Amino acid sequence: MSQAAVAPSKVSGHTILAFDFGTRWIDVAVGDTETRLASPLGMFEAEGGKRRMAEVETLLREWRPERLIVGLPLAMDGGEHDITRRARHFARQLEARFRLPVDLADERLTSAEARETLSGSGRGARRHKHEAHALAAKIILQDYLDDSARR
């Protein structure tokens, strides 16, 4: 997996991993319920079910999360399309195989927000496409952590 330099957390909160499911890449972020901060981890290829699950298993062994989040790609009107169904299937696979709670999180506009963030920092999304993907996973998780703090 292409990874950013983030060490496993030793904070007393609960670790959460988030996945931004795509047809070519699955982007990953890690966060903690104590600090309520998310960080991008990287990405891995989405193709090949066995290899995909092996990548997830490696992440789970390293980070030992108590919960997983899968971004749910909905249309702007809230409707579902093929990638939405595939993301739901991926979430069910994670839950069944790893016996961890999996929440789905609306990911509308996270990719646009990631591109805007990169552009605002002087890094174009085209030249930093991989950063934009990992940043989208971070935004999904950060939104989830922020929402859970309000509940």
Say what the pTM is: 0.82
Looking up tokens 């999996």 gives 102
Answer whether residue 138 shows pLDDT above 80: yes
User: What does the pLDDT read at residue 47?
Assistant: 84
Query: pLDDT grade, residue 10 (50/70/90)?
Result: very low
Q: Average pLDDT for residues 79-98, to the nearest whole number?
A: 96
Closest CA to 94 of 62, 57, 63, 58: 57
CA atoms within 13 A on the CB side of 93: 16
- Which amino acid belongs to residue 33? T
State the residue for tokens 């939405």: 84
Q: Rounded to an integer, what distance in angstroms lies between the CA atom of residue 128 and that of residue 106?
A: 24
CB contact at 8 A, 31 and 38:
yes
Q: Is the pLDDT of residue 110 over 70?
A: no
Maximum Cα–Cα distance across the chain: 42
Residue 67 region by backbone torsions, left for phi larger than 0, else alpha for psi between -120 and 50, else beta:
beta
